[in-house]
């Protein structure tokens, strides 16, 4: 007579197998989620290194005999993700910087063209901050638009990311900031805002959300849209209503050196491309300018 499993033994075996498969599926799911999170975090950290390394390099070569403009703007009623409902909309920071700096610059359009000084815009591209309905904040693009100063360049047509005047000519022909323009974009001859959306020469990072920038001339206070310094050097321009929607401050060749900022503090949120880390990650980076 052949031996066989009893019904109870079969039920116990099936139950054990189901438990093992259940635990295995949980472990597999946790492992996949951990891998996805680690991958998203690695992507964000890579973006962070690119941004902070570039900022450090730029401001190490900041030209304090030129200009530095900080423009702060609060974007009203923006959504963070595509699936957000209107009730989930909130305000997001879209601050930006304009400056001269020295470094090793190469034209994106003509790779053989190089310069050791340039005018730089740092902030979101206009497509991101200007489109109030279709682009969620988690898909904003961070731009670093560089215009090389190439006074001896003899190319026709001149590359769009080059300018055939010298640094001294740029300084001499700067408009009077207080009287001659209302929008700080006006001081840059070729800001990122006029470049097409697919222009990769100015793209610094994708999925770069809100950016808040503050400055200080002492170790105790940080100034910006939330906390204008009000009075004395440097000159600040603020919205006429409360709470403020925009604020900008500038330093020029006429600003005494002791009134230039000692440091800039940038607080920004970065997202991964697959929206795995909901809400992204927020970082604070301080760039010291007291050199």
Question: Which structure tokens are listed for 130?
Answer: 């200007």
Q: For 49-97, what is the HEC assignment?
A: HHHHHHHHHHHHCECCCCCEEEEEEEEEEECCCCCCCHHHCEEEEECEE
Residue 199 has pLDDT above 70, yes or no: no
What's residue 170's pLDDT?
77
pLDDT tens digits for range 115-158: 999 989 899 887 888 776 678 889 999 989 888 998 888 888 88
* Residue 41 CB neighbours (<10 A): 14
User: Rounded mean pLDDT of the chain?
Assistant: 81
Mean pLDDT of 173-186: 54
Q: Where are the domains of the chain?
A: 9-288
* Residue 276 CB neighbours (<10 A): 16
Q: Give CB contacts under 8 A, 24+ apart, made by 85-92.
A: 92/137, 92/209, 92/210
CB burial of residue 52 (10 Å; 0-12, 13-18, 19+)? middle
Band (pLDDT 50/70/90 cuts) for residue 210 is very high
Residue 13 has pLDDT above 80, yes or no: no
């Amino acid at each position: 007579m052949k031996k066989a499993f009893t019904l109870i033994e079969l039920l116990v075996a099936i139950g054990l197998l189901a438990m093992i498969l259940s635990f295995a599926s949980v472990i597999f799911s946790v492992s996949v989620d951990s891998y996805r999170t680690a991958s998203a975090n690695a992507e964000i950290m890579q973006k962070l290194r690119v941004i902070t390394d570039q900022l450090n390099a730029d401001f190490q070569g900041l030209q304090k005999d030129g200009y530095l403009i900080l423009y702060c703007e609060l974007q009203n009623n923006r959504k963070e993700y595509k699936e957000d409902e209107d009730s989930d909309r909130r305000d997001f920071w879209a601050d930006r910087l304009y400056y001269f700096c020295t470094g090793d610059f190469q034209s994106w359009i003509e790779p053989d063209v190089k310069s050791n000084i340039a005018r730089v815009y740092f902030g979101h591209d206009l497509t991101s901050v200007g489109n109030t309905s279709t682009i969620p904040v988690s898909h904003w693009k961070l731009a670093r638009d560089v215009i090389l100063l190439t006074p001896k360049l003899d190319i026709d047509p001149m590359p769009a990311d080059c300018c055939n005047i010298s640094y001294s000519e740029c300084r001499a022909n700067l408009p009077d900031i207080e009287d001659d323009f209302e929008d700080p974009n006006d001081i840059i001859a070729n800001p990122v805002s006029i470049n097409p959306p697919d222009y990769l020469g100015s793209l610094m990072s994708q999925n770069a959300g809100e950016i808040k920038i503050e400055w200080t001339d002492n170790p105790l206070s940080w100034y910006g849209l939330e906390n204008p310094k009000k009075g004395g050097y440097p000159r600040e321009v603020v919205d006429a209503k409360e709470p403020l929607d925009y604020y900008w401050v500038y330093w020029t060749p006429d600003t005494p050196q002791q009134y230039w900022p000692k440091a800039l503090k940038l607080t920004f949120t970065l997202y991964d491309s697959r929206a795995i880390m909901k809400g992204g990650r927020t970082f604070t980076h301080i760039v010291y300018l007291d050199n």
